[in-house]
């Protein structure tokens, strides 16, 4: 489970009600309240990646999220244990699914009782705690239906153009936790057409229809290995472009400050299986790339011999505004940040 801190809020400590604490906002999922000062942030756009991770926890439990709730507060020692005790007191059987203590403390969990089950993620990062949890809706078997028409074959040596996949097709999408098998629920519209989800696929876990996700076509691929899984990346990429947005305040006014850095490196990927990576200092690293083992992408090594995986992240924003195809280099070393990669649009 890979999670990042979505935003920073200055809040009072939070705990589920015990007999000695002051009541705050009531939970919408269980018969309990949060301590005064907590903030329920359900529906906040910045939680998109966190919400996707929560839905994956639900999917791994064999169900989908029916109703979700997100709460944020300043971290305080002992609150996680109190939270578990409170759920136990409400009749739930609490089970830790996974714990990750890497650049923070993350716990995915499930709480069961006869009347229904919950899953959630408890995340403590840099003094802030975010709780995301949801009630589970066990999906009913999908009714028998006629087979969906096969996806358009097209040229399997280039990335599938938007519209290649149709509703009912099984595909894989690249998520914050890796590649995931999904079913196409709806196909968005082409540029210039009226409607929602421009050049995006609406998807969900096969057989489920609640809490759909949507992905740009550059993150959607066939389940079976295809030539484009590696051939898409052949060409010249500019690497290392960065932008940061920070909230500044002088005590009376607040504003956003944007910092931008142009690409520092270049990466040339050749069809013969070789590559050249030129860094900011002018040093060139040469080698042979290899296919990513888990899905579309290629793996290259930097000057220090560390693996980086190049993934396609082409989307309508970069395509329309800048005329670029976009990708991202993901490091094997978790102490490193991923790096943006772009090149002029081919089609």
CB 202 within 8 A of CB 182: no
> How far apart (Å, rounded) are the C-alpha atoms in residues 156 and 172?
16
- Residues 136, 140, 145, 150, CA torsion sign: positive
CATH 2.130.10.10 fits 141-223, yes or no: no
Residues of the chain with CATH 3.30.310: 23-137
Helix (H, G, I), strand (E, B) or coil at 70: strand
CB 2 within 8 A of CB 125: no
Measure the CA dihedral 205/120/179/307, to 10°. Answer: 180
Measured CA to CA in angstroms, residue 76 lies from 18, 24, 89, 109 at distances of: 15, 16, 21, 19
Q: What is the DSSP letter of 306?
A: -
Measure the CA dihedral 148/151/152/157, to 10°. Answer: -170
Multiple choice CATH, 23-137, 1.10.3470, 1.10.540, 1.20.1440, 3.30.310: 3.30.310
pLDDT at residue 174, as a whole number: 95
Strands 93-100, 105-113: pairing is antiparallel
Q: Residues near 149 by Cβ (< 8 Å), separated by ≥ 6?
A: 166
Residues of the chain with CATH 2.40.128: 229-344
Counting Cα atoms < 13 Å in the Cβ hemisphere of 239 gives 25
CB 273 within 8 A of CB 296: no
Work out the end-to-end distance of the chain between its first and last CA atoms, rounded to an integer number of angstroms.
Answer: 35
Q: What is the CA radius of gyration of the chain?
A: 23
Q: What is the DSSP letter of 114?
A: T
Number of C-beta neighbours around residue 345 at 10 A: 14
Residues of the chain with CATH 2.30.30.140: 141-223
Q: What is the DSSP letter of 243?
A: E
Residue 224 in tokens? 């079976």
Beta bridge partners of 340: 241, 328
Where does residue 2 rank: exposed (0-12), middle (13-18), buried (19+ CB within 10 A)?
middle
> How far apart (Å, rounded) are the C-alpha atoms in residues 343 and 77?
48
What is the pTM assigned to this prediction?
0.54
CB 293 within 8 A of CB 305: no
Residue 327 in tokens? 């990708």
Identify the helix (H) or strand (E) that includes residue 58: helix 48-60
Beta bridge partners of 72: 39, 130
pLDDT at residue 53, as a whole number: 87
Across 263-346, the runs of DSSP E, i.e. the strands, are 265-269, 274-278, 284-288, 290-291, 298-301, 307-312, 324-331, 339-344
**Residue ranges in 110-261 assigned as alpha helix (H):** 228-231
Q: Residues near 132 by Cβ (< 8 Å), separated by ≥ 6?
A: 47, 50, 51, 53, 54, 68, 69, 70, 120, 121, 123
Each residue's pLDDT, cut to its tens digit, for the chain (347 residues) gives 444 433 333 233 233 333 333 456 888 899 887 766 678 888 877 788 888 889 888 888 888 898 999 998 888 888 888 889 889 889 999 999 888 887 788 899 999 988 889 999 998 888 888 899 999 975 444 444 433 433 444 568 899 999 999 999 999 999 988 999 999 999 998 887 776 788 999 999 998 877 889 999 999 999 999 999 999 999 999 998 866 667 888 888 887 776 657 788 999 999 999 999 999 899 999 999 999 999 999 999 999 999 999 999 999 988 888 889 999 999 998 788 899 999 998 75
Q: Structurally, what CATH architecture does the domain formed by 229-344 represent?
A: Beta Barrel (2.40)
């Amino acid at each position: 489970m890979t999670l990042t801190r979505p935003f920073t809020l200055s809040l009072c400590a939070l705990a589920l009600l015990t007999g000695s604490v002051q009541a705050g906002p009531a939970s919408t999922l269980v018969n309990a309240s949060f301590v005064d000062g907590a903030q329920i942030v359900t529906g906040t756009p910045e939680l998109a990646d966190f919400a996707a991770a929560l839905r994956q926890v639900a999917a791994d439990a064999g169900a989908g999220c029916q109703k979700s709730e997100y709460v944020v507060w300043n971290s305080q020692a002992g609150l996680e244990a109190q939270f578990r005790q409170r759920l136990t007191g409400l009749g739930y059987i609490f089970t830790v699914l996974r714990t990750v203590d890497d650049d923070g403390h993350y716990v995915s969990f499930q709480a069961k009782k006869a009347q229904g089950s919950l899953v959630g993620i408890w995340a403590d990062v840099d003094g802030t705690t975010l709780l995301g949890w949801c009630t589970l809706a066990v999906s009913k078997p999908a009714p028998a239906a006629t087979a969906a028409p096969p996806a358009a074959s097209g040229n399997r040596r280039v990335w599938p153009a938007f519209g290649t996949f149709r509703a009912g097709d099984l595909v894989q999408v690249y998520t914050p936790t890796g590649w995931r098998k999904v079913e196409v629920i709806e196909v968005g519209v082409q540029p210039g057409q009226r409607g929602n989800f421009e050049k995006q696929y609406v998807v969900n876990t096969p057989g489920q229809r609640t809490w759909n996700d949507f992905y740009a076509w550059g993150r959607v691929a066939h389940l079976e290995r295809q030539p484009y899984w590696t051939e898409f990346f052949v060409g010249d990429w500019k690497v290392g472009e960065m932008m940061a947005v920070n909230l500044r305040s002088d005590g009376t006014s607040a504003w956003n400050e944007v910092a931008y850095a142009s690409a520092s490196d270049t990466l040339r990927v050749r069809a013969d299986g070789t590559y050249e990576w030129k860094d900011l200092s002018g040093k060139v690293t040469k080698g042979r790339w290899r296919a990513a083992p888990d899905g579309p992408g290629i793996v290259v090594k930097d000057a220090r011999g560390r693996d980086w995986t190049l993934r396609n992240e082409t989307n309508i924003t970069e395509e329309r505004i800048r005329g670029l195809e976009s990708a991202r280099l993901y490091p094997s070393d978790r102490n490193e940040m991923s790096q943006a990669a772009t090149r002029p649009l081919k089609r």
